């Protein structure tokens, strides 16, 4: 498993994703291809030292989506993270612009939630069940 640097604030925003999910890995590879200027650092959530570097990450449920840790320490989640990433990558600026339209923002958040919940089916395979989001509609 990769190890992350534990000292100091990030010089650039950090995309934190599920490094065991085939769907997530494919999407991060797409981002990396667009990130020719090295705008982002990409770190799997399973990386050793991640929670020490970014303690706020321990507060969230990663089944709700990727995280974007900004240099100021703020964290964007799910569709909001996608918006922040898209607005900084060439070829994705139109996607970012659309997200600023209130109705489309709401649709994007709902759509992202659906994708996060069904990512194992979208990847057509998922080993060890790490891509399964918990069913929040059932009472325990």
SS3 percent helix, strand, coil of the chain, rounded to 5, is 45, 15, 40
Q: What is the pLDDT along the chain (140 residues), one digit of tens a residue?
A: 554 444 455 579 999 999 988 888 999 999 999 999 999 999 999 999 998 999 988 877 777 889 999 999 899 999 999 999 999 998 888 778 888 888 988 888 888 888 888 777 776 655 545 455 444 333 33
Domain ranges of the chain: 13-123
At 6 the pLDDT is 45
Contact 122, 66 (CB under 8 A): no
Q: How far is CA 13 from the centre of its chain?
A: 12
């Amino acid at each position: 498993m990769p190890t992350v640097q534990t000292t100091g604030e990030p010089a650039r925003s950090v995309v934190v994703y599920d490094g065991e999910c085939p769907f997530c890995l494919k999407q991060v590879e797409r981002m990396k291809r667009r990130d020719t200027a090295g705008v982002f650092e990409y770190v799997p959530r399973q990386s050793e030292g991640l929670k020490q570097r970014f303690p706020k990450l321990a507060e969230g449920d990663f089944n709700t989506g990727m995280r974007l840790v900004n240099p100021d320490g703020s964290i964007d989640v799910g569709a909001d993270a996608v918006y922040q990433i898209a607005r900084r990558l060439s070829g994705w600026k139109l996607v970012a612009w659309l997200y600023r339209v209130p109705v489309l923002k709401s649709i994007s958040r709902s759509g992202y939630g659906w994708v996060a919940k069904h990512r194992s089916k979208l990847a057509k395979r998922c080993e060890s069940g790490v891509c399964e989001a918990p069913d929040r509609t059932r009472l325990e």
